[in-house]
């Protein structure tokens, strides 16, 4: 008899098999709040985030709130984020909190407690982390995620043009970005069906990375408003040993605030991604 599902890799693989490969970003840009007829304040933010979660539950496997747009509203914004995360948990919707935290020692442990520990009001199923203080600096978050059955997505090759200054630098004959992927692969070795350490690789340009041994998920931002298409995603991540999570935010959320229009837009993106992959 198969053991009870406890790992993030298990949860993610199951959700993607059911709902398809689409990560729905929840990025409450001021212009999106206005388009939804909401104020650019904590109250409008909460209505936006919780409305998106309610509409998308049952249509996508995972949602990705962008922490910065909540933090800009102070304690009220953080409270709105907590409630949106709680709504997602109640609805059985996986959450990937985009916080891009990275530090050393006890400080990184503090971030791990905030976002990955059981019982934390800000705990998500997975978070994004920055490894550019060294992959080893992530150990507190990696260990906390593994212990709690959660995941992390390590920045490897981001979509911003300036990222190449660091990420494409040579380190012993391979790029720094490739080193991060290889380090994630070592953490995932032997996991079935997927390890809990994913990587972030933008879908907006050819990345030139070897993802064959990752055995984890690739978060691929850039779909929609940033210019990447479903066909780009299929071409750039062919041969991946794991799964790819294309992320779309503004091009999806712009269909709101009507819940049915949001659901229809999510189904459209999901079908286009599946068709391109096939």
100 is catalytic: yes
What H or E segment, with its residue span, contains residue 219? strand 216-223
Active-site residue, selected from the candidate residues 64, 100, 261, 268 = 100
Collapse the DSSP code of 201 into the 3-class scheme (helix H, G, I; strand E, B; otherwise coil) and give the result: strand
What are the angstrom distances between the C-alpha of 13 and each of 42, 118, 195? Answer: 34, 21, 10
Cis check for the bond before 95: say yes or no (omega within 30 of 0).
no
What span, in angstroms and rounded, lies between the C-alpha atoms of 245 and 159?
15
Question: DSSP state, 224?
Answer: S
Of 51, 69, 94, the C-alpha closest to 255 is 51
269 within 8 A of 278, measured Cβ to Cβ:
no
What are the angstrom distances between the C-alpha of 182 and each of 60, 115, 213, 216, 232? Answer: 29, 25, 8, 11, 23
Q: Catalytic residue numbers?
A: 100
């Amino acid at each position: 008899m198969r053991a009870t599902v406890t790992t993030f890799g298990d949860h993610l693989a199951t959700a993607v098999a059911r709902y398809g490969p689409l990560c729905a970003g929840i990025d409450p840009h001021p212009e999106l709040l206005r388009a939804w007829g909401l104020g650019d304040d904590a109250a409008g933010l909460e209505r936006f985030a919780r409305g998106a979660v309610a509409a998308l539950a049952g249509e996508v496997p995972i949602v990705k709130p962008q922490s910065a747009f909540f933090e800009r509203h102070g304690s009220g914004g953080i409270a709105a984020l907590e409630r949106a995360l709680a709504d997602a948990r109640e609805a059985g919707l996986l959450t990937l909190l985009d916080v891009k935290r990275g530090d050393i020692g006890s400080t990184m442990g503090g971030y791990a407690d905030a976002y990955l520990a059981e019982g934390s009001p800000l705990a998500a199923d997975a978070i994004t982390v920055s490894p550019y203080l060294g992959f080893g600096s992530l150990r507190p978050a990696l260990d906390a995620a593994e212990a709690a059955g959660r995941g992390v997505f390590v920045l490897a090759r981001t979509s911003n043009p300036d990222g190449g200054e660091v990420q494409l630098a040579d380190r012993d004959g391979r790029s720094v970005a490739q080193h991060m992927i290889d380090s994630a692969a070592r953490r995932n070795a032997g996991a079935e069906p997927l390890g809990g350490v994913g990587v972030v690789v933008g879908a907006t340009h050819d990345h030139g990375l070897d993802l064959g041994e990752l055995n984890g998920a690739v978060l691929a931002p850039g779909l929609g408003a940033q210019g990447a298409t479903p066909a780009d995603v299929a071409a750039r991540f062919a041969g991946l040993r794991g799964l790819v999570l294309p992320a779309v935010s503004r091009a999806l959320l712009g269909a709101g605030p009507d819940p049915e229009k949001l659901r229809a837009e999510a189904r459209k993106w999901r079908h286009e991604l599946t068709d391109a992959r096939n």
